[in-house]
Amino acid sequence: MNIEAVLEQFKSQASNVGPIGGTIKFVLDDSPIHIDGSGDSNVVSGEDKEAQTTIITSIEIMEQLRKGDLNPMMAVMSGKVKIKGDMGLAMKLQSLLG
């Protein structure tokens, strides 16, 4: 899977859920995905913008999380996923990983 495919998955999933109430940036293998859920809907882009929460991991780990093969808490505890900023906002991500 490449960053374009991940970006399309996020766009598809984000259109099916309510706004997350803030901004989140994923950095997957050094490529950004920005989700702005501070308005009426979630807007997903490949732009490298500032965000309230930044999540750093690899595309491979993101795919394992999305499939349910990896527990999100264990991924964070083991250092496979790094989260900076608003942890409460990060907890809302489950709806976007679908």
Whether residue 9 is contained in a domain is answered as yes
**pLDDT at 94 (0 to 100):** 72
pLDDT tens, position by position, 28-78? 999 999 999 999 999 999 999 999 999 999 999 999 998 999 998 899 999
**pLDDT at 66 (0 to 100):** 87
CA dist., res. 11 & res. 33, Å (int): 10
Q: DSSP secondary structure string, 41-59?
A: S-EEES-----SEEEEE-H
Whether residue 98 is contained in a domain is answered as no
CA dist., res. 18 & res. 41, Å (int): 6
Parent domain of 8: 3-93
Which residues on adjacent β-strands are paired with residue 6? none
pLDDT of 92 over the 90 cut: no
Which residues on adjacent β-strands are paired with residue 64? none
The mean-pLDDT minimum among 4-13, 56-65, 87-96 falls in: 87-96
Six token digits for residue 50: 């500032």
Residue with tokens 């706004």: 19
CA dist., res. 79 & res. 83, Å (int): 10
Contacts of residue 96, Cβ cutoff 8 Å, sequence gap at least 6? 10, 13, 14, 17, 20, 35, 42
Whether residue 12 is contained in a domain is answered as yes
Task: Identify the CATH number of the domain in which residue 60 sits.
Answer: 3.30.1050.10
The number of domains in the chain is 1
pLDDT of 10 over the 80 cut: yes
**pLDDT at 76 (0 to 100):** 93
pTM over 0.85: yes
**pLDDT at 98 (0 to 100):** 59
